[in-house]
Each structure stands twice: as structure tokens, then as C-alpha cells.
Amino acid sequence: MKFGVHSFVWNDAQETATIEAGMERARAAGFDFFELPGFDRRRVDVGRVARRAEALGLELGASCGLAPEFDVSSDDPAVVAAGEAVLNEAVAIARDLGSKGLSGPIFSGHQKYRVMPTRRNWDTSVAVLARVAERAKAAGVALSMELVNRYETNLMNTVRQGLAYIRDSGSDNLYLHVDTFHMNIEEDDMGQAIRLGGDRIGYFHVGESNRGYLGSGSIDFARAFDALVGIGYDRAITVEAFNVRGCGDWLKAICAIWRENWTDADAFARAALDFMRARWDEALRRAAAYR
């Protein structure tokens, strides 16, 4: 299994220099996969980042979220068109980074909504993602939609909803990106949700219920990892947490990061990798015992 770490553990990765610093710290902590968020291509030398990652032996993953003015589920066609352009650009960046996928909450604005989603919002989003998924397929990039919790989108929050979305799209290049932090809020049972997702689970985030040290909260990692082993998941498992001092106010506002759970990012990352490896090995041993 490839274990990854999100750049947010160190910083919000909006410039070449901070991205390179994060990659070096991730490699030093022992990771072999590194996730980058969306960024402004004019501020990041994508080719240089890709070469540096290759030299370090790090596989890159790309993700992005959509600001309200790029909400592809919007009732305003101009906003939807702007959002589709942002997604097409994100696919191109993912391709140029050498990432096999683009993940994150790409199906709506990444924001707290104050209204119910309508059928029209759903259909609008599905039509956009179906088109973007086709373009992404031609670029060798799989799209994985992150099922975030109710405070960060209104369109869908569960694996069952995500599967309905994929069916409606008719796409074979749309997958689900699930995250233990969000599933802990929205799913009745994390293990059942992962099994229901099966081969449509395209990417996996590990986050503790308090966004702090893995094992310090209430996430049932045995249940989650047993299910991942059960479905034969073989893509990256990436720990996500937020560095309060390294991440910008825009990001902290969206994800409601209001306090510091830890201060030493390197120590957090090393402990997270040890924790994930240990829980994964336990899940493999349990599966082998009942094969």
C-alpha cells in the first residue's frame, strides 16, 4: 500500500517554494505519496515540481475544491461555465504533475450552503462532471469526487448518494474519494459505506475525528481498514490534517480550522505514517486469518 500525506500538514502549497519544502519534509518523514491542492498556475512551476517529486521518489496526487464563484451546481450558467473551466485547468495541472487522479469536492462549491439542493443543481453538476471526466480520461486522469460533510457542501455527503451521481453521469472515469473525518459525520457505518463503494472508491483520506493525531479521536480505523482490505483497495491512503500556521485564512475558514491540535508537523507526519502502517498490517493479518 502507498501511504501519502497532504501538503496541508505543512502549508497550503500555493507557491513553488512552499510545495518543494513540503515534498522534502514528506519524503524525510518516510512517505511515498504527496497530495497537492488546487493552486494558481502562474505562481507554481508545475514542471519543476514534477521533476523534484520524481527525484525524491514521491508520487504526486492532485486535488481541488471550488470557490462559490466556480460552483458547478449553481443556478447561474455563468458560474457553472467558470467552474467547468477551473476543473479543466485542474485536470491539465494533474496531468502535468504526473498525477493519476484529480480528487476533492469538485461537484459543487466547497462551502457551507444555507439552502436545500434542487434537482436542477444535481443535474447541472452531473452534466459538467460527465464532460470533465471524458476530457480527464483522454489525459489519463481519473476523477474522484470527495464526499465531504454537510457543512462543506449540500449536494451529496454519502457513498450511496455518490454512487447515484456516478450512475446518472454514465461515466466510467468518475470515482468516489472518501475520507474518515467526513464519513464519521455522515455515514451510518464507515465499513459498510466503503464496501458499498467497492471498486468505485478511487481515493482515500485518513483524518481523525478531531483532525488531530491519528488515534487521539473516535475514528474506528480497524473497521475502515478491514473494509478497504475487503474491497481490494490498492490506491493511496493519504493522511490529511491542517497546519494552522502554514495554511491561509481562506482554507481555515472553509474547513473550520480554528485551533491547533499539534504544533510539530514533522512529528505529526511521522506518527501518522507509523499509525497507518500498523493499522493496515493488522487489517491484512485479520483478513488472512479468515481467508
The answer for residues whose C-beta is within 8 angstroms of residue 166's C-beta and 6 or more apart is 174, 175, 176, 200
Choose the stretch contacting Mn ion; rule: CB under 5 A; options: 116-124, 178-186, 209-217, 259-267. 178-186
Q: How many CB atoms lie within 10 A of CB 197?
A: 26
**Residues sharing a CB contact under 8 Å with residue 16, sequence separation 6 or more, in sequence order:** 43, 44, 45, 48, 49
Q: Are 171 and 134 a contacting pair, CB within 8 Å?
A: yes
CB of residue 51 to Mn ion, shortest distance in Å = 27
Site residue total, Mn ion (CB under 5 A): 3
CB distance 198 to 231 below 8 Å: yes
Does the footprint of Mn ion cover residue 205 (CB under 5 A)? yes
Active site residue 240: yes
If binding is defined by CB under 5 A, does position 186 make contact with Mn ion? no
Residue 226: all three cell numbers together: 478491514
Is 69 noted as a catalytic residue in this protein?
no
Pick the binder of Mn ion from 20, 179, 186, 187 (CB under 5 A): 179
What residues are paired with 75 via a beta bridge? none
Binding mask 115-154 for Mn ion (x = CB under 5 A): ----------------------------------------
Grid look-up 500525506 returns 5
Over the window 29 to 68, marking each residue x when it contacts Mn ion by CB under 5 A and - when it does not, the resulting string is ----------------------------------------
Answer for the pair 188, 220: CB distance below 8 angstroms, yes or no: no
The residue range among 118-126, 128-136, 236-244, 282-290 that interacts with Mn ion, by the rule CB under 5 A, is: 236-244
Q: Smallest gap, in angstroms, from Cβ of residue 119 to Mn ion?
A: 27
The residue within the footprint of Mn ion, chosen from 97, 240, 241, 275 (CB under 5 A), is: 240
Q: 291: helix, coil or strand? A: coil
Distance CA 116, CA 119 (A): 10
Instruction: Select 141 or 254, whichever has its Cβ closest to Mn ion.
Output: 254
First-to-last alpha carbon distance for the chain, in angstroms, is 19
For Mn ion, which stretch binds (CB under 5 A), given 92-100, 160-168, 196-204, 239-247? 239-247
Phi, psi at residue 243, to the nearest 5°?
A: -85, 110
Least separation in angstroms between residue 257's CB and Mn ion is 12
Return the amino acid letter for 145.
M
From the list 146, 152, 186, 208, the catalytic residue is: 146
Cite the active site residues: 146, 240
Interacting residue ranges for Mn ion, rule: CB under 5 A: 179, 205, 240
